[in-house]
Chains A and B, each alone.
Chain A
């Protein structure tokens, strides 16, 4: 079977879970004898050549994927305002570079146009799109080819904005979901949002939980001081990820254990707010900011940490806890996450329940036996997550939409 996939990031040009998920899924699909042509917007011009080498490395593990680049500065999770800034910075860094659209929506439109051409030139049976920026591309490809369209929802505008969706993004999401022959949601949590907010009948949505392949786990040596306790937040510092709840919980912990360090690894539009808030709470000296991390630095952060916390207020899935666990780091996850549906050996709290979260943090930091149990059992539990299995479920969806089309 041949699948034409529209994504917007692919490792190493990835800034979030979406690229990781697409990588894992395509690898799983190749094990299920599916040939994937993966389309991404053009990669940043200033990317280092070594990044390209890594990309080819993906081929060397026998992932039969052709990468087609579409010229675009689209990066994941970007808001329209950020896009203008990004555009300005790219333009200044690469004088004489390409001519970009004036805003994110123009880029989405352009990506969709180019998709028509790609659909004409490529051989495929099914179209598979990942999140809203690719939906118009997918719709166009369907119009040209009359092949069935599957849209894969890794996040909705409701997750990203903490319940205050941008109407334009919402419209594109809705359009894509309605145009699709079948929708794949990364969790029941997300399926619920799709049914509730987008007017989609539940029977049109299949749930395929994300996974993790332990053999892909990178490892680096980390020297860790046993006396230093570190609690890690890793992700975009945006309203969706609940960094403020993490900070308030940190304050509660520090009242009892003043030597703990709290690390924010990531960047985002709430960063300055968090920095100022930390100062206001009088804990600025215990809170560190690493900025945006990549590759080995992420691994280092997971391994340095005694505890990883994902306090998201609305998390469709949440791959980072699985990554943290793969390095033996215990995790606290919010109940408002897809991963909490499938993960057992994790501590779970409502994102707003700061005292509960602080209670859990203190317990892990104080009781080595708790840390040890979570770590050991968590690592064992990861064996049950497999991208091959997730991919298999996608293949069932492909067969279903192909059957419906021919039948």
Chain B
């Protein structure tokens, strides 16, 4: 018996505008609304709508045997509500099938666990509330931003009441062992983890359309064969990837949708195969052993560590300065300020400052709205400075509203 467990990540960051030092104290609007809207609409058309339609068809076609899970950040949902309500509707339709599980994460796709536990708890709570509101589910499985994971986090998340977590099946935590089993972190009492099968996941997410890959072109029978090979050698094949793989990272012209359309049928041809949601996997399968993750892992880059977000001194400095503001920002009671601050906790802002491999130009560049990591740092620090200035001067927004009232 082997169960395929699909999890798709859906996230859109609140990209910042090139906020200058001269904007400090003059302008408290930090976000590039136009760009954020444009990108969301582009991805709506290229990925979210066609992919959701296909997933719904597949679930119906296989009468409930095809199952998937999503983790959608609060920020992505917020932006969809505003600019792409159709996408929300189509996710709700998927939720109604009973074959789709929504996972828990931080609302802001943040690194808050590493910097402030109270903030982490709050953002997870906010996210849970949003998922409940929109999809009527109370998430029971947790995945942290970018699959960032360690022993301490596992223990903490278990205490929050989750039945399981997702993590990267990195070689250095598994050693000779296979990601096709469930494992229990050494730090938890009972809580288990599902580990990403990075080889089979990345075959779709990164290599699918790469003509220099020796397995190119990737056909459905070939891929199903690789999955079947796990039969008898494990319980689960965890295929974790960004949802934008479908239509955005791999364009429709690469045949990615055709591939996805045929895949479930091909996998279900083997009578011992099926699809599970993460919750079902945790329910059905015992753990095969323990994993000990002292050093934090993630799913990013070849390093699979935190270096994409906190690898250089600019990133660490920016993160420290950001979280230093947390207490005064919350104490201010200024809702707008608190929301702005939380949007800055989005890990993408730190990712844009990554200098690793920058000279070679690579995947980081593809996702980066700035020309350089330095531009990202400059805008971010200017914004933090403006925030400090807002904390020092009492909120004038209400006054200016009064002026408008007086005039009318």
Instruction: Give the interface of A toward B (CB within 8 A).
Output: 252, 256, 344-345, 347-348, 355-356, 358-360, 362-363, 367, 369-370, 372-374, 377, 381, 384
Contacts and interface: CB of A to CB of B under 8 A. Distances in A.
B355 interface: yes
A363 B312 contact: no
Given A358-B22, A359-B22, A363-B21, A373 B312 contact: yes
B115 to A, nearest CB: 17
Given A377-B355, A381-B359, A384-B359, A348 B378 contact: no
A355 B19 CA distance: 11
Given A355-B20, A363-B378, A344 B313 contact: no
B378 to A, nearest CB: 4
B382 A369 contact: no
A122 B381 CA distance: 61
Contacts of B21: 256, 358-359, 362-363
B382 A373 contact: no
Given A344-B359, A344-B361, A345-B374, 12 more contacts: A345-B359, A355-B22, A358-B21, A359-B21, A363-B21, A363-B382, A367-B381, A369-B317, A370-B377, A372-B313, A377-B359, A384-B359
Interface string B351-377: 000010011010000000001101101
Contact of A370 (B22, B359, B361, B378): B378
Contacts of B371: 348
Q: Give the interface size class of chain B.
A: 20 to 34
Interface string B368-408: 00011011011001100000000000000000000000000
A359 B378 contact: yes
Contact of B374 (A356, A370, A384): A370
A266 to B, nearest CB: 26
A-B complex: 3 closest residue pairs judged by Cβ atoms: A359-B20, A369-B313, A369-B317
A373 B359 CA distance: 13
A360 B358 contact: no
Q: Which of B18, B20, B371 has the most CB of A within 10 A?
A: B20
B313 A374 contact: no
Interface of B: 18, 20-22, 312-314, 316-317, 355, 358-359, 361, 371-372, 374-375, 377-378, 381-382
A345 B358 contact: yes
A170 to B, nearest CB: 33
A370 B20 contact: no
A252 B22 CA distance: 9
Contacts of A347: 372, 374-375, 378
A261 B358 CA distance: 31
A355 B21 CA distance: 9
A358 B20 CA distance: 9
22 contacts: A256-B21, A344-B359, A344-B361, A344-B372, A347-B374, A347-B378, A356-B18, A356-B20, A358-B22, A359-B20, A359-B22, A359-B378, A363-B377, A363-B381, A363-B382, A367-B314, A367-B377, A369-B313, A369-B314, A372-B313, A373-B374, A377-B359
A188 to B, nearest CB: 16
Contact of A348 (B18, B359, B372): B372
A369 B359 CA distance: 19
Nearest to A340: B371
A136 to B, nearest CB: 41
Given A348-B371, A363-B381, A373 B355 contact: yes
Nearest to A362: B21
B22 to A, nearest CB: 6
A370 B372 contact: no
A258 to B, nearest CB: 15
A370 B314 contact: yes
